[in-house]
Amino acid sequence: MIKLIFDCLRSPYDFANVIQVTLALGNCEIYVTGNSLNHKHPKILGKVASWSSGIKNRGLPDSFEVHYFNSLEDCVEKLKKENVRFIGTSPHAEKSFYDFEFDGHNDAIVFGTEVGGISKKKQALLDEMVKIPMSNELDFMTLSVVVPIVAYELNRQRS
């Protein structure tokens, strides 16, 4: 399973996009921490339903689950017991996401807030930091852009 961790996921549109990607891949687990929205928020469900007649008619699959934690620290502490390796995303990281080897099936990708990313304090909890290469014209991409890139690349590497 591809583990995707979001610290303080507050945008209904971004959360809906995350759900869409995980449903499309079918092999993702979503973890949200801090002051995040609930995935059953009407704005999120409405957006997801507008993209799929199956969801519009039946709702999210019964097997769909989101794991909630009070803080990123709590999430990391629990998943460390399962030997999860944590890879954070930041446009300021040295290592490119495309050069990173996802050699195990127990990696979790951590996404920070859109406003502040992953703080230095929270980065210290993680095993690695990677960036999505971008031109000098842009130093930031929204979650709705980055999550599909990362999830599909992880899926490709594991296939």
**Which domains does the chain carry?**
2-158 (3.40.1280.10)
Whether residue 100 has pLDDT greater than 90: no
The CA–CA distances, whole Å, from 22 to 99, 135, 143 equal: 23, 27, 13
Global pTM value: 0.92
Give the C-alpha separation, 124 to 86, whole Å: 11
If pLDDT is split at 50, 70 and 90, which confidence band does 57 have?
low
Q: Is 149 helix (H, G, I), strand (E, B) or coil?
A: helix
User: Count of CB atoms within 10 A of residue 37's CB?
Assistant: 17
Mean pLDDT of 138-151: 87
b (16+ CB within 10 A) / e for 5-22: bbbbbebbebbbbbbbbb
DSSP line for 3-20: EEEEES---HHHHHHHHH
